[in-house]
Amino acid sequence: MDTQDSQERKLLIALENIKRLTMRPQLFASIPRAEFLTMFVINASMQKAEQEKQSCPGVMISKLSELLQISRPTASQMISSMEEKGYTRRVMSTSDRRVIYICLTEKGQAVLQMNLARYSGVLNEIIEKVGRKEIDQLIFLCDRFQEVVNEVKPRLLDNLQSVEEQPVEEPV
């Protein structure tokens, strides 16, 4: 096995391990991962709007789906489910009745804060054990990796599309 194959294999294993870590928030969360991430994004949008003194009280479904990288119907379905649990509410824009914002309710804020506190405790312990300098390096490398993936992805998608468009020759 050559060095490149070995490095590619190690990278795939490392990425799979990271994926496994992020897919198991039930270890220290009381809500499903998707709901936690959705609440986190809604809360961040609400805080940003408040800091920038914007009139929008939350985030629109279209922006939420973009930030979470999920389809609009999936985002809408999740918000409906969270609304039934009392975590979110829909607020109509005062300037344009067609625009609906998604906000966290007090219950949603409380559930998010409780889960953030649990995450914070675990993450602080990890940071202390690994070391702040190495965590900063990891964050830098993850950001750099994301930049490169975003740069390569359109080219990969173009290549896949061109392969799909080529006619398939049937054996004679």
pLDDT tens per residue across span 124-161: 999 999 999 999 999 999 999 989 988 988 887 777 66
Split at pLDDT 50, 70, 90, the class of 123 is confident
Averaged pLDDT score across all residues of the chain: 85
- In this predicted structure, the answer to whether residue 166 has a pLDDT above a threshold of 70 is no
Together in a domain, 85 and 118: yes
Together in a domain, 143 and 112: no
Torsion sign over Cα 103, 53, 112, 67? positive
Together in a domain, 59 and 98: yes
Together in a domain, 113 and 33: yes
Identify whether 12 is part of a domain.
Answer: no
Torsion sign over Cα 119, 121, 124, 130? negative
Identify whether 58 is part of a domain.
Answer: yes
- CATH number of the domain enclosing 108: 1.10.10.10
The pLDDT of residue 30 is: 78
* CA torsion angle 20 23 28 31 (round to 10): -170
Together in a domain, 149 and 125: no
Range of the domain at 151: 131-161
Q: How far is 82 from 38, CA to CA, in rounded Å?
A: 9
Tokens in use for 140?
């830098």
Identify whether 1 is part of a domain.
Answer: no
Q: How far is 5 from 62, CA to CA, in rounded Å?
A: 40
Split at pLDDT 50, 70, 90, the class of 165 is low
| Statement: the pTM of the whole predicted model exceeds 0.85 | no
Per the structure, the count of domains in the chain is 2
- In this predicted structure, the answer to whether residue 168 has a pLDDT above a threshold of 70 is no
The pLDDT of residue 15 is: 86
Tokens in use for 8?
């590619």
Together in a domain, 69 and 44: yes
pLDDT in tens, 38-54: 999 999 988 888 887 77
Between 114 and 158, residue with greater pLDDT: 114
Together in a domain, 105 and 157: no
Together in a domain, 100 and 144: no
Together in a domain, 44 and 91: yes
The pLDDT of residue 63 is: 92
pLDDT in tens, 52-100: 777 667 899 999 999 898 999 999 999 999 999 999 999 988 888 888 9
Together in a domain, 89 and 39: yes
Cβ-contact 44, 26 below 8 angstroms: no
The pLDDT of residue 150 is: 87
Tokens in use for 39?
């609440």
Between 93 and 101, residue with greater pLDDT: 101
